[in-house]
Amino acid sequence: MNAMNMNRPFFLPLLAMGIALAISGCKPEIEGELGDPIDKRAGFLGTWELASFTQQDLNNPVKETRDLSHLYLQDGIAPLRMNFNDDDTYSIAQEIGREYFGDGGMWAFDDPAFPTFLILMGEADTLQYNLGTTVRPYDDQMAIEYRRSCGEGGARIETVIYTFTFNRIPQ
């Protein structure tokens, strides 16, 4: 084997890396700004009416999602409504279905800049829900997830996810 053939296996990968570095160095500079961050709190303000209610059983191997909206949405009965006020209070109007949100009280996010959880603080207890998405002031829909789990401490296992989807009621 001559010296030229021995260097060839090392030369090709080095050449490929050099070409890749040269191409990646030619990216255009990013210009402009993203704008001001969206006020997540302002996105929640107003009245929201329940549009659907689903359940996902995490113990089921299929992980199917069942539509159980009929438990809350029935002809002739006003749907569940939540109202989030600018003074950090919330109220509930509900005629049928299980009461997952209490009677009303104070509301907050776990982190105002990057909310993951909605916290509802009533007279009797404090409830915490996962936010399906961040709600912006111009969004007409929001989702709140209630995750049930079993076990204690580090052995807690999520078993069911209830998802409440709400539509914004124009003011």
Residue 135 sits in a domain whose CATH number is: 2.40.128
Which residue in the block uniquely carries the two structure tokens 């961050």?
37
Over 90: is that where the pLDDT of 11 sits?
no
Query: Which of 88, 91, 125, 122 lies closest to 107 in space, CA to CA?
Result: 88
**14 within a domain of the structure (yes/no):** no
Total domain count, the chain: 1
Residue 94, in any domain of the structure: yes
In a domain, 112, yes or no: yes
26 belongs to a structural domain: no
Is residue 60 in a domain?
A: yes
135 lies in some domain:
yes
Average pLDDT, the chain: 86
- pLDDT tens digits for range 66-121: 999 999 999 999 999 999 999 999 999 999 999 999 889 999 999 988 899 999 99
- Name the residue with tokens 């990013």: 30
CB-side exposure of 149: number of CA atoms within 13 Å? 11
Residue 111 phi, psi (nearest 5): -145, 110
Residue at 7 is within a domain: no
Domain holding 46, by residue range, is 40-169
Q: Does residue 152 surpass a pLDDT of 70?
A: yes
15: three-class secondary structure by DSSP: helix
Global confidence as pTM: 0.75
**Can you count the helices (H) and strands (E) in the chain?**
2, 9
**Cross-strand bridge partners of residue 76:** none
155: confidence class by pLDDT, cuts 50, 70, 90: confident
